[in-house]
A and B are shown apart, each in its own frame.
Chain A
Amino acid sequence: MTELIERAAAADTPAVELSMQQAINRALRVLLAEDPDVLVFGEDVGALGGVFRVTDGLQEEFGDKRVFDTPLAESAIMGMAVGLAMNGWRPVPELQFDGFAYPAIDQIVNQVARMNYRTRGAAPMPITLRLPSFGGIQAPEHHGESLEALFAHTPGLKVVAPSDPGDAYSLMLQAVRSDDPVVYMEPKARYWDRRPVRLREPSDPIGTSRIVRPGRHATLVAWGAMVQRCVQVAELAAEDGVDLEVLDLRWLKPLDAEGLAASVSRTRRAVVVHEAPLTAGLGAEVAALVTEHCFRDLSAPVQRVTGFDVPYPAGPLEPQYLPTIDRVLLAVQRTLEY
């Protein structure tokens, strides 16, 4: 079942103002402190504290045996995670940018995702791959990608993409404590999103979506940085008398078909928004699930608002590539008029 963001009754800690970077950092601190098998490593995560400051101070606090720098070799980083996991560690490797994940795909797909299956459960892979993901920071080529469909399509991996600091904290705890490999996609564009956060232990099972904003005329389905864009769209639509629900999928594998169906059955219209190209993107999976579960309830076909079928562009073209507010509004209008 989905949860409302205003779940103040369940507050277990006072709110502190944190950015997403800081929230993930806090979660890593908790994990390193509670479990001596947790290891954090990657390019520049140690002495520098990460290019996005996510691992800031962790090496000082936990030492260079548990938080350490690696060579600039993504395949080796993931290969090392596999070996460490086989020997009882709980690795939390970082690949500095999603575009640098490609050299490590062999390790991720052929080893991380399959080892549990291959060994009939004798060698689980409790690895959480931290992957700064998606665009929106106008970085050069190879520094912005949207790889969720690739990972979600790989049996054996779990995939999660938080959209705000509070969720980033809880989901990180959940990902690292899971005995299955999790690709944790950190939306770079939201790293500096600073808001009051209640640091909560995870309360929803893995694979649970959440309603960020309730509404009745259509459901906007998103994850990562596109959740905030959809919230903006919903606020603008409200000025026009259109009441949009925003569903943050969070987990892209397993994907919350039940929560998705519950929302769209009520609103009867769905628009899925993602940064990745249209063709064979995760929006197609969402559209298929909605059609399968809500066929009789739908007032309009599911609309997809996505990046274009081109290589993820470098900085200056990003604003043209990423789903704009107007493109999402037009898709909403198409579902309303159908």
Chain B
Amino acid sequence: MAQENITFTLPDLGEGLVEATVLEWQVAVGETVERNAPLVEVETTKSAVVIPSPHTGRVVELHAEEEQAVPVGRPLVTFAVEGAPDAPGIVGRVPAEEARPARRVRLRPPTD
């Protein structure tokens, strides 16, 4: 399946923050990371937070060194993501379709 590169930019982690400093990368270039797995710990003027990965994919590039300050909106990580035609868009996930769904209840046919 086709791959596409997606660059994740630093979001505003508080209200009106302008930058964050990278404390520790929790992934390395070449690694495959799952969506929602810890990506990077950053420090803002308010707190230190771990940003979860927004994608499942392979890390292609880290755009900042540790200890480096990154302005909000600037690239943080580039992922190579499998091009999925059934990607859910922005919110939620595609429900898994079970070919044969599990059941516990058995029916007794009516006598009439």
Residues of A within 8 A of B (CB): 19, 50-53, 97, 136-140, 143, 188-189, 192, 217, 232, 236-237, 240-242, 299, 315, 325-326, 329-330, 332-333, 336-337
Contact = CB atoms under 8 A, between A and B. Distances in A.
A236 B101 contact: yes
Nearest to A97: B91
B94 A137 contact: yes
Contacts of B105: 325-326, 329-330, 333
Contact of B92 (A53, A143, A240): A143
A240 B108 contact: yes
Interface of B: 86, 88-95, 101-110, 112
Nearest to B109: A241
A300 to B, nearest CB: 10
Contact of A329 (B92, B103, B109, B110): B103
B90 to A, nearest CB: 5
B110 A217 contact: yes
A137 B88 contact: yes
A19 B105 CA distance: 32
Nearest to B104: A326
B91 A333 contact: no
A268 to B, nearest CB: 9
Given A237-B107, A240-B109, A242-B107, 15 more contacts: A52-B88, A52-B89, A53-B89, A97-B91, A139-B92, A143-B91, A217-B109, A236-B101, A240-B106, A325-B103, A329-B103, A329-B105, A329-B107, A336-B108, A337-B108
Nearest to B105: A329
Contacts of B88: 52, 137, 192
Contacts of A139: 91-92
B92 A137 contact: yes
Interface of B is mostly: loop
A329 B108 CA distance: 11
Nearest to A240: B107
Contacts of A240: 106-109
A242 B109 contact: yes
Contact of B112 (A53, A188, A299): A299
Contacts of B104: 326
18 contacts: A51-B91, A52-B88, A97-B91, A137-B91, A137-B92, A138-B92, A140-B91, A143-B91, A143-B92, A192-B86, A237-B107, A240-B108, A325-B101, A329-B103, A333-B107, A336-B108, A336-B109, A336-B110
A322 to B, nearest CB: 10
Contact of A136 (B89, B95, B103): B95
Contacts of B102: 325
Contacts of B86: 19, 192
B89 to A, nearest CB: 5
Nearest to A299: B112
Nearest to A319: B95
Contacts of A330: 105
B89 A326 contact: no
